[in-house]
């Protein structure tokens, strides 16, 4: 017993001594690190294959000032636009809303125009989006669905300066719009050749998701030439760059840039079961955007060359079904009569494999390349036909079947009004039993939407009581005018006369 007690005493004293020793030698040091250790350990490759540190900070600083926040306000009359339930979800409805939580609590609905009603109460809907400055004098690219139907557009820069914007033009076929603010010396982004963008390369998405301004996210290019069937236009062109950089509601119209800060795409849509980021974002490539912008600035309308063919992407099933010699390319399913392709020698069953030497493997690739051309342009198609390769030089037509270009003169007064107009055709004027008029074909953010209940299709017959029969005459009557203006006119399918007043 005495021996056992002695051993226990020795063990206890030893434990206390060891604990005291450890306690005396123990030192806690809080170290502050001024750099991230992983920063120098993360590398990518430059064009020559040399490893370089991967750093997004310089790119983010370079591009953020050129991406703007767009606030779109739409006023409508509750009495004339009844809400009806939409059976299918609208991808843009999720992508472009004021409050992202709306999608979890409110049913989807759309507005269906009806007869204008002066006594109905106005309702206001506000949307948020993004835009990219492309010139020092205030031209900004965004999405058509950001500005479509807006009565008022407010652009806020990264330094919090705010401006009212006017719409220069839109292209629903690609969901691109060009707007402008009155300012000089603005920061801008430069376009890069989107054909050179490679799957797997790093990209940054810059925009204003959930109204969180100047947000930057990083990812890679996941795929190219994606068609997701999201655009509702009859002549839609979808050849999106797909990225896994986080894109959310409010990013519409924002920038997708490479690590050099060059613009490679305009963020447009997401694929998501919830309406928020799920890893799939889509951007319109800049090579297509640049052509649209040039057309809108030069002609006032997009000039689109067409082949006049119905096409399908070649896959294994189509190859077996048609007995084709190739497994990649674009199959010509049918041709319109007297189309550019038919006149140029293309036949049903041909497989287009390149355009002007540029390889095409899918229908979206072909659509994008052709959409970069205007009526009258010539392209060389290389096709597989019965085991042989043939080249055909095709002169592209417009949608009417000829090579004419359409030009809409830019009038400052029409920009202020926010409208596109055309002189009423003589046969239509005779049918309506009027000497002539000016028909409103499109309304954007401007005086007419903001100050009146005017609908697209309205035919202006008088300005301040004086008859008007052409767009040129209408413009002359309003140029230099100040104060109130009264427009008198009619709608084709509605009885009675209508009057709309606004101030200049």
β-strand partners of 256: 205, 265
pLDDT at residue 39 in the model:
45
Q: How far apart are CA 134 and CA 23, in angstroms?
A: 65
Q: How far apart are CA 241 and CA 338, in angstroms?
A: 34
Active site residues: 145, 175, 252
| Mean pLDDT on 247-256 | 96
Task: Kindly report, as residue ranges, where domains of CATH 2.30.42.10 are found in the chain.
Answer: 309-395, 412-503
Chain centroid to Cα 334, Å, comes to 30
Q: Note whether 485 and 464 are within 8 A (CB).
A: yes
Of the pLDDT bands very low, low, confident and very high (cuts 50, 70, 90), residue 60 is very high
Q: Note whether 145 and 131 are within 8 A (CB).
A: no
Is residue 350 over pLDDT 80? Answer: yes
How crowded is residue 454: how many other Cβ atoms within 10 Å of its Cβ?
22
Kindly state the percentage of the chain with pLDDT values over 90. Answer: 65
Q: Kindly report, residue by residue over 63-75, the tens digit of the pLDDT.
A: 999 999 999 998 7
Least confident of 136-150, 305-319, 401-415: 401-415
Of the pLDDT bands very low, low, confident and very high (cuts 50, 70, 90), residue 41 is very low
> Does the domain at residues 66-180 carry the CATH identifier 2.60.40.1730?
no
Task: Kindly report, as residue ranges, where domains of CATH 2.40.10.10 are found in the chain.
Answer: 66-180
Q: What does the block give as tokens for 449?
A: 């939407």
Is residue 327 over pLDDT 50? Answer: yes
Q: Kindly report, residue by residue over 377-391, the tens digit of the pLDDT.
A: 999 999 999 999 999
pLDDT at residue 96 in the model:
42
440 φ, ψ (degrees, to nearest 5) = -85, 110
| Mean pLDDT on 27-40 | 50
CATH node for 309-395: 2.30.42.10
Q: How far apart are CA 367 and CA 355, in angstroms?
A: 11
Residues 6+ apart with CB under 8 A from 279: 244
Is residue 93 over pLDDT 80? Answer: no
Question: 121 or 249: whose pLDDT is higher?
Answer: 249
Q: How far apart are CA 475 and CA 479, in angstroms?
A: 6
End-to-end CA distance of the chain: 111
Q: Provide the mean pLDDT of the chain.
A: 84
Q: How far apart are CA 470 and CA 436, in angstroms?
A: 8
Alpha helices in 163-282 (DSSP H): none
Residues 6+ apart with CB under 8 A from 209: 215, 246, 247, 248, 249, 250, 251
| Mean pLDDT on 11-40 | 49
CATH node for 412-503: 2.30.42.10
Is residue 413 over pLDDT 70? Answer: yes
pTM: 0.77
Q: How far is CA 367 from CA 181, 253, 362, in A?
A: 32, 21, 9
pLDDT at residue 14 in the model:
53
Question: 438 or 20: whose pLDDT is higher?
Answer: 438
Q: Kindly report, residue by residue over 426-470, the tens digit of the pLDDT.
A: 999 999 999 999 999 988 888 888 778 899 999 999 999 999 999
């Amino acid at each position: 017993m005495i021996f056992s007690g002695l051993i226990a005493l020795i063990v206890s004293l030893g434990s206390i001594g060891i604990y005291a020793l450890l306690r005396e030698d123990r030192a806690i040091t809080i170290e502050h690190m001024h750099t991230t250790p992983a920063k120098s350990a993360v590398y990518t490759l430059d064009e020559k294959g040399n490893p370089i540190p991967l750093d997004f900070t310089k790119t983010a600083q370079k591009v953020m000032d050129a991406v703007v926040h767009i606030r779109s306000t739409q006023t409508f009359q509750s009495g004339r636009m009844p809400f009806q339930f939409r059976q299918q979800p609208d991808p843009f409805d999720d992508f472009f809303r004021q409050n992202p939580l709306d999608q979890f609590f409110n049913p989807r609905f759309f507005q269906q125009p009806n007869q204008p009603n002066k006594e109905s109460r106005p309702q206001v809907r506000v949307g948020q989006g993004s835009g990219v400055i492309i010139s020092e004098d205030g031209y900004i690219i965004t999405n058509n669905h950001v500005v479509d139907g807006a009565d008022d557009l407010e652009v806020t820069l990264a330094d919090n300066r705010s401006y009212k914007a006017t719409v220069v033009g839109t292209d629903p076929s690609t969901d691109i719009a060009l707007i402008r603010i009155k300012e000089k010396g603005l920061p801008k982004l430069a376009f890069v050749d989107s054909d050179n963008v490679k799957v797997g390369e790093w990209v940054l998405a810059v925009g204003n998701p959930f109204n969180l301004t100047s947000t930057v996210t990083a990812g890679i290019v996941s795929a190219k030439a994606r068609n997701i069937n999201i655009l509702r236009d009859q002549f839609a062109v979808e050849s999106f760059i797909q990225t896994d950089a986080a894109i959310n509601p409010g990013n519409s119209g924002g920038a997708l840039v490479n690590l050099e800060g060059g613009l490679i795409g305009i963020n447009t849509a997401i694929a998501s079961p919830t309406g928020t980021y799920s890893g799939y974002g889509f951007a319109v490539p800049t090579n297509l955007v640049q052509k649209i912008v040039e057309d809108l600035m030069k002609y006032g309308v997009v000039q689109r060359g067409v082949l006049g063919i119905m096409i399908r992407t070649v896959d294994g099933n189509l190859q077996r079904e048609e007995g084709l010699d190739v497994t990649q390319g674009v199959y010509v399913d049918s041709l319109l009569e007297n189309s550019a392709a038919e006149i140029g020698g293309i036949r049903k069953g041909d497989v287009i494999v390149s355009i002007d030497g540029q390889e095409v493997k899918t229908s979206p690739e072909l659509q994008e390349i052709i959409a970069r051309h205007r009526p009258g342009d010539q392209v060389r198609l290389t096709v597989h036909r019965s085991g042989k390769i043939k080249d055909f030089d095709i002169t592209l037509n417009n949608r009417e079947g000829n090579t004419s270009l359409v030009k809409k003169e830019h009038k400052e007064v029409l920009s202020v009004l926010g409208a596109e107009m055309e002189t009423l055709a003589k046969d239509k004027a005779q049918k309506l039993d009027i000497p002539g008029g000016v028909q409103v074909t499109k309304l954007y953010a401007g005086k007419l939407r903001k100050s009146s209940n005017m609908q697209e299709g309205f035919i202006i017959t008088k300005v301040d009581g004086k008859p008007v029969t052409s767009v040129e005459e209408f413009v002359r009557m309003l140029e230099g005018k100040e104060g109130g203006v009264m427009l008198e006119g009619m709608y084709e399918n509605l009885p009675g006369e209508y009057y709309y007043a606004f101030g200049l």
